[in-house]
Amino acid sequence: MSAFSSLGKTLKEAFQRFLASPSADRNAVEELVRGVQRSLLVADVRVELVSKLSERIKERALAEKLPPGVSRKDHVAKIVYEELTSLLGRKPVKLSPDGKKPYVVMLLGIQGTGKTTTAAKLANYLKTSGYKVGVVCADTYRPAAYVQLQQLLKPRGVEVYGEPGVSDPVEIARRGVEFFRTMGVDFIIVDTAGRHRSQEELMDEMRRLGKAIQPDENILVIDGTIGQQAGVHAAAFHEAAPVGSIIITKLDTSAKGGGALSAVAETGAVVKFIGVGEAVEDFEPFNPGGYVASLLGMPDIESLVERVRTAEVEMDEERMKTILTGRFTLEDMVSQLSSLTKLGPLKKILGKLSLPGMDALSDTEFEKAEERIKKWTAVVKSMTAKEKQEPAIIDSSRIRRIARGAGVSERDVRELLKSFQASRKMMKDRKIRQILRQGRGRA
């Protein structure tokens, strides 16, 4: 069964209807947004998240300038893809031994979430990726877990360690990890018990086991059918576990997978894998972009997105040229700055340009700069056309009005105006223009 059957159906229909519509006009965009809303609400995505996301899609689809050679439809498709992808979280880091051998992974989660099944799935996944893997069964409540793991994994060439009859899971885990360490495996996966446990007891056992075997990565296993409740689990786990990632299971059986994924993403936690069925093979690495592509029924959407982004960068080049001549408007400056941040975190982009002095800037300084760009974008939006053309007419009463409209302080507005004047003056300097041109040639 596919992981996308439930959330996917309505979303895919709405998206395909949009692609087939004769024009991507306001009506078509609004209808698409309504379809996206409906499917996300059915998937148990938080109402606030849904309304924020649909506002953003609408606003961007209607306000963003169309890059040359890009159809309105492709542009909207890209926006929908980007917004859904960011709803479902960051691009996860791969599970890799990172030069550590063995790399110890401990699976945790409340009863019945799918830990034991996931231990088998993950072991099989790593084994087929070419690693030597061992599984430790530290579940003392359910003797059948050990048998279950052996039955699943022996035929697949993965050894399972267990001590039937022994009642202390910490001792079993310790000896199991030692056993596989001497065997020289790449990965050790430790399955733990979930029975009769409150969240607090679970966290406590996690800490005791953690102290004993020092896992390199704790992975919380969450049942995807609980929808947005998954966020609460992820947040609690994040506080208790030093290293952590998440696996969401049963995405094949419930319509609520989108709610679970978005709620977990909201906490900043990383989902590394998803479970999409009961069989050992029903398991895949999670990647928000790929997941959205399948949801939309458009596996090649990423190449469309790439194409639109390239056109956008070209459009920015044009704007950059205007800036380099020193004849740019307030809008030019702010949109140039904000399109910079759209390409990724400011630090990364400026890092690539290898500008002198950048290394000295701290992360907070970069965050502040990003914050300022956001504020400035809002400021320019609440200006009248005339004010944008002729900033000189902006007096204190206009500043007050603009600040209120943008939801920022008057100081923010003054700062933008000052910075605009300074940049314009600077760009009129021939020497500086020359340096910038050379810098761009190098980057």
Ligand X SMILES: Nc1nc2c(ncn2[C@@H]2O[C@H](COP(=O)(O)OP(=O)(O)OP(=O)(O)O)[C@@H](O)[C@H]2O)c(=O)[nH]1
Q: Which residues are annotated binding-site positions for GTP?
A: 109-116, 191-195, 249-252
Sole binder of ligand X in the list 112, 143, 344, 439 (CB under 6 A): 112
- Contact flag: residue 114 with ligand X (CB under 6 A): yes
Q: Is 273 helix (H, G, I), strand (E, B) or coil?
A: strand
What are the Cα distances from residue 10, in Å, to 6, 33, 43, 264, 356?
8, 12, 10, 22, 51
Number of residues in contact with ligand X, rule: CB under 6 A?
A: 23
403: enclosing H helix or E strand: helix 396-406
* C-beta closer to ligand X: residue 74 or 282: 282
Q: Show the 3-state SS of 45-112.
A: CCHHHHHHHHHHHHHHHHHCCCCCCCCHHHHHHHHHHHHHHHHCCCCCCCCCCCCCCCEEEEEECCCC
- CA 293-298-301 angle, 5° bins: 70
Sole binder of ligand X in the list 39, 140, 253, 335 (CB under 6 A): 253
277 binds, among Mg ion, ligand X, none (CB under 5 to 8 A by kind): ligand X
Can you spell out the DSSP letters for 310-361? HHHHHHHHHHHHHHHTT---HHHHHHHHHHHHHTS-HHHHHHHTT-TTGGGS
339 binds, among Mg ion, ligand X, none (CB under 5 to 8 A by kind): none
Cα–Cα distance for residue pair 209/162, rounded to 1 Å: 15
Cα–Cα distance for residue pair 267/235, rounded to 1 Å: 6
Q: Given the structure tokens 């500043």, which residue do they identify?
A: 399
Query: Of 77-85, 105-113, 163-171, 330-338, which part binds ligand X (CB under 6 A)?
Result: 105-113
- Using CB under 6 A as the binding rule, the residues of this chain from 169 to 198 that contact ligand X are 193-195
The tokens describing 222, both together, are 């969450």
The full length of the chain comes to 443
- Contact flag: residue 116 with ligand X (CB under 6 A): yes
Positions at the binding site: 109-116, 191-195, 249-252
CA atoms in the 13 A half-sphere facing the CB of 185: 26
* C-beta closer to ligand X: residue 282 or 312: 282
At its nearest, how many Å lie between ligand X and the CB of residue 244?
17
- Contact flag: residue 254 with ligand X (CB under 6 A): no
* C-beta closer to Mg ion: residue 144 or 393: 144
* C-beta closer to ligand X: residue 78 or 250: 250
- Contact flag: residue 8 with ligand X (CB under 6 A): no
At its nearest, how many Å lie between ligand X and the CB of residue 299?
22
| Contact characters 65-104, Mg ion, x per CB under 5 A | ----------------------------------------
Which stretches of the chain bind ligand X, using CB under 6 A?
109, 111-117, 139, 142, 145, 193-195, 249-250, 252-253, 275-278, 282
Q: Which residues bind Mg ion (CB under 5 A)?
A: 115-116, 145
